[in-house]
Each structure stands twice: as structure tokens, then as C-alpha cells.
Structure 1
Amino acid sequence: MNSFDMEQLRSFVTAVDAGSLTAAAPLRCLSQSALSEQLRKLELRANQTLLLRSKNGVTPTAAGEKLLQHARHLLALADLAWRDLQGVTLNGEVRLGITDYCRPADMLTILGRFARDYPHLRLRTMMGKSRDIENAWHQGEIDLAIVMRIPGIHPPASNARETLLLREPMMWVGNTPTSQHEPLPLALLPEGCSLHQLACHTLKQHQRSYLIRHIASGVRGLQTALVAGLGVGCLNQSAIPAELNQWGESLNFPSLPLAEFMLLQGPEDSSETSKTCAAFSEILHSTLSGMT
């Protein structure tokens, strides 16, 4: 029978999204050996190598990229079918806050897909800085939130209502010529931005001199400034425009941690809003979890 095991597909998507088997195993509540075995069986079923393994983690092959698209669609359909059979419907309104670092090129398409799949759900969205979105969530102004956290800049999650959605590599990017013998010209968001803090903190730690050449007001403005060659910055993978050069340790750029995107979940009570938020949280998690 020519078909795929859904749990193996889920493990495959999680491994790609997390970037390594070590990071993916706890997300699947599996040991690393059990996860590896699922992926081995999936590759046998596909009769192709799906993942390239290295000391830096895992990356999908061309065949893996092709299967990844199908796997995401199949898993989303399976989740939708389960909710439909269980009588889980999405009605009413959900107030959703999203950091504008989270898949900025795809977010409108993703939200549009939600609108088509759940026509009775009304979304009220707020996009902006993680700090502003998290404050709005704490104050009850929004129900759900997706925010970015940087290890070493932000403390570890301590709230049971916070769950990890995905991790993404951080990269130094820019179209500005640089020299190891001159201060690194930076293009950043204002000082309150976590990536501003990360860039300056990391360069200071590695005794790399820098100067702040350009301050942008938002992620879109920062992307434009970096593409235009106004400076060097650091961005998470899904926020990097194709026109930008990515630089690493070969040019004396220090390594950066993985960015973590957290889902701040809805109220915990017996209200219809709480039930709707809980169901929509599952949809967000299955759709966005670890997307790269």
C-alpha cells in the first residue's frame, strides 16, 4: 500500500522545523532514538533520503522539501477532520497578536487560509514588536499572542500558558561591504528591540567594534534598509529577504543563538471565548510549529 504514516510525517515536520533531532524529540514526546527510527522508516517508505544530518542539525533534501509541503497539508487536513468529527467548531472572535518577525512574507497568506477554513471565526489581529504584544496580552487586550524570545536576552519561559511554537536560526545579514579592521556598520531597530540588544551584546562579547549607522522604525523598514546597503543587522531566518547576503564566522561574525517563537495562550476558564482560543491555539501550533 502506497501511503505514509501520519506520526512519521509529524515527526519529520517537527525535525525540520526544530532544526535538529535533539530539539525535535521532546516536542514529539519521544526519545531521540525513537524519533530517529521513525524518520528511518519514513525514508524507507519514501525510498529517498529526506534529511541531511550534520553536527549542526538536519536540513531537508530536495525530496524532503517536496514531501514537507505535502506533509504540512496532510497534517492540517487530519487535524481539521478530527475537530470536525469531535464537533469542535470555531465561532466568535479571537484577538491575535503577532510579532512582525514571525514569517512576515507568509503571514497574510496564512491568515487568509484560516479565514477560508474557518469562515465563522472572526480574527482581530495586531502586529508589532514582541514587547508591545506581550504587554497587551498581559493586560487582557488580546487573547492569543506570538512573540519572539532570544536566549540570553530574555529569561526562560516560566508561565504555563506559554508554549514553544518554533525555533529559527539567526543570521548576520546585509549588502554593505565590511572589513574586519573597521567598525561594523549596523542597521537596527530602536534600543528596545531584542535583536538590537542581541547584536550589540554579541559584538561586545566578541570584542568586535561597531557603530550604529541606521535606526529603522519597523521590521519592513529594517529589511529595506539592509537590502539598500545601509548597514549590517541580524534577522531570524524567515524574516530574511532573498536579496540579502548572509554572513557567518568566515568573515569574523560571531555565532548567534536560535530565535524562539512562543505562543501565549488564551484565558483558562469555561467561557466560549476560552474554548475557541484553545481550539485555535491547536491550529496555530500545527500550522506554524517550527516552520522554516
Structure 2
Amino acid sequence: MINLDIELLRTLVAIAKHGTFANAAEAVCRTQSAITQQMQRLESLTHKAIFTKEGRNKTLTEHGELLLRYAQQILALHDECVRTLHSADPEGIVRIGAPHDVADSIFPTVLAHVVRNLPRIKLEIQVDRSPILMEALHRGELDLTISSRFDSELAGFVIRRSPTVWLASARYVHDPSKPVPLILADEPSLYRKIALTALEQAHATWQTNYVAPNLSGIKAALHAGLGITARNIELISTDFRVLGTSEQLPPLPDVSYFLWMRRAPLHNHTRHVYDLLSQHMALNATAPLP
């Protein structure tokens, strides 16, 4: 196995860029004879003719053209590696949000990943309802947020797909002969929409027993046995149980949680955090959205 010298490849690229050995020698601050010796060394290593003489000029052979293309790719990757290793860690404050229902599940994983890989980034966190977080993102009050809401105007990617289930208190007893007693978030609410749509499509009857402005209120109503609610599995605990077809309740769709980045102007460190998370935490089946 031969090892190609990176400087020989750099000289080959310089010759192709500047047209002649003489011009390349001037560009890299070497003598023309040194450039010639380097190319002779490269031909010796590869056991291939890289240049052919046409009149007073030398042009690349077919093997030379192939080697040039690889040399350009190798140098690009090499130089990117060197820049990355020697560049300072990004530094700054990133404001990041998450909805209440993933504050104890997805969010800690995201925060830990940033802190572990970008230790000079300082995080300011906000936990709130998805609509409020998305409004803050659009106003520039947040840099990044996790949200169950889709927004075609923002750059983002799916960070988790979570099944939605019917939840009730562990002590709750469901009576399928009666209207479904619902605990709902007030508008706007994705889970409210999911619950009502599923019941409508199943031609089921329901009644709203309790409306809450936030997740804490919904959990309190569940604990009190006031009814059931549609929520993602992140909320399951020993205090709650999942209801389903045995209680004659319709199935519910999965919910996608996105990580969204606010629109420009952006600080470079915000882009660093977003790129890090998109490379390591985006679902494999989902490419980052433009």
C-alpha cells in the first residue's frame, strides 16, 4: 500500500490551477525544478505517468486527471479537518425552548448533548406550550425550540416521533356506554385537535369535563379522575394508565417533535448548535428541512 504525500498532491492541484509548472512554482514559492522533482516523485509513487508533453507544455494524462480529482477531494477534507481542529470552540448564549410534555424526556437529552460537545456555549432555557414557544421563536426571543408544530418558514428536523395514547388516572374506570369524558387543553392545542378528530371519525360521543391552560392543569384533572385525555407516551407514569380498543376508544396518530431554528439574523454559535443536533439527533429517515 503506497502513502501519497499531501504536499505532492497540493502541488499537483496548484499546477492544474495555474496552468504551468512555472506559474505553480511562483504560486507556492518554490523553484520550477523543485516542482518538477515533486511530480517525478508522485509518478514514482503511483507507478503511473501523470503528465504528457505537448510541444513545450505538459498536460495531464488520463491517470493524471483521475489523480487530480482525488487530490482535490483529499485536500478539501484535509484542510477542513485542520480548520476544525484548530478553530476555537464556538462561544455564546443560545436560547432554547421545549414544551412541557417533553421537558423531562427529550429536552434533557438535547441539553446534555450540547453541553458535552460545545462546552463554551451557555444555554438559556424556556419551558412552555408549543404555540407560545413558536411565537417567541418568530419574534427572535428564542434561537431554537422543540415543538410539535410544523412551520414551513423555518429550518428544522424531526427529533422524535412519539405515539399518542388515551391517558387516565390509574384508578379511573371507563364506561363505554357513556359519552367520553374529556380533559382538554385550551386552544390552540395539537392534542385537543387529535382527540376531537379521532372521536369524530369514530362517530363517538363525548363531553368536555375540564379545560386546562397548561399541562400541570391537565395532570391535576387526570389525578382527580375527571376524565381522559389524548397525550404522547412521554407523559406515562405509574399514576396514569393507557386506555385503548378494550375501552372502545379510537386509535390516535403519532406526533412528530421538531427542533426549529429561528430565521436570520443568526449568530454563528446558534448555527453550530443546530448543526450539531441535526447531525447527531435527527431521525435517520428524516433529512433536515430547508
TM band (smaller chain): 0.5 to 0.7
Moved more, 245-254 or 277-286: 277-286
Do the aligned residues in 1 keep the contact of 2:157 with 2:278 (CA within 8 Å)?
no
Question: Among 152, 163, 167, which residue is 1:169 paired with?
Answer: 163
Corresponding residue for residue 280 of structure 1: 273
1:251 equivalent to 2:241? Answer: no
For 1:125-176, what per-residue CA distance to the aligned partner results, in whole angstroms no more than 9, with x for missing partners? 2221111111111122211121113xxxxxx653361322221100011022
**Displacement of 1:94:** 0.7
Do the aligned residues in 1 keep the contact of 2:138 with 2:263 (CA within 8 Å)?
no
Listed as ranges, the matches of 1:20-31 within 5 Å are: none
Listed as ranges, the matches of 1:4-153 within 5 Å are: 85=85, 87=87, 89-105=89-105, 107-108=107-108, 111=111, 114-115=114-115, 118-149=118-149
AA partner of residue 274 (structure 2) = S
Change (3 A) 1:232 1:263: same
SS of equivalent residue, structure 1 residue 158: coil
Give the share of equivalent positions with the same residue, in percent: 24
For 1:14-41, what per-residue CA distance to the aligned partner results, in whole angstroms no more than 9, with x for missing partners? xxxxxxxxxxxxxxxxxxxxxxxxxxxx
- Which 5+ residue runs of structure 1 have no aligned equivalent? 1-80, 150-155
* TM-score (norm: length of structure 2): 0.60
- CA RMSD in angstroms, aligned pairs only: 3.0
Q: Which has the larger radius of gyration?
A: 2
Corresponding residue for residue 232 of structure 1: 228
For 1:75-114, what per-residue CA distance to the aligned partner results, in whole angstroms no more than 9, with x for missing partners? xxxxxx9997374623111111212222535635753664
**Displacement of 1:281:** 1.4
Do the aligned residues in 2 keep the contact of 1:83 with 1:89 (CA within 8 Å)?
no
**Displacement of 1:228:** 3.3
Listed as ranges, the matches of 1:173-252 within 5 Å are: 173-175=167-169, 176-252=172-248
* TM-score (norm: length of structure 1): 0.60
CA distance in 1, matches of 2:154, 2:212: 34
Do the aligned residues in 2 keep the contact of 1:90 with 1:118 (CA within 8 Å)?
yes
How many pairs were matched up?
202
Change (3 A) 1:192 1:83: farther
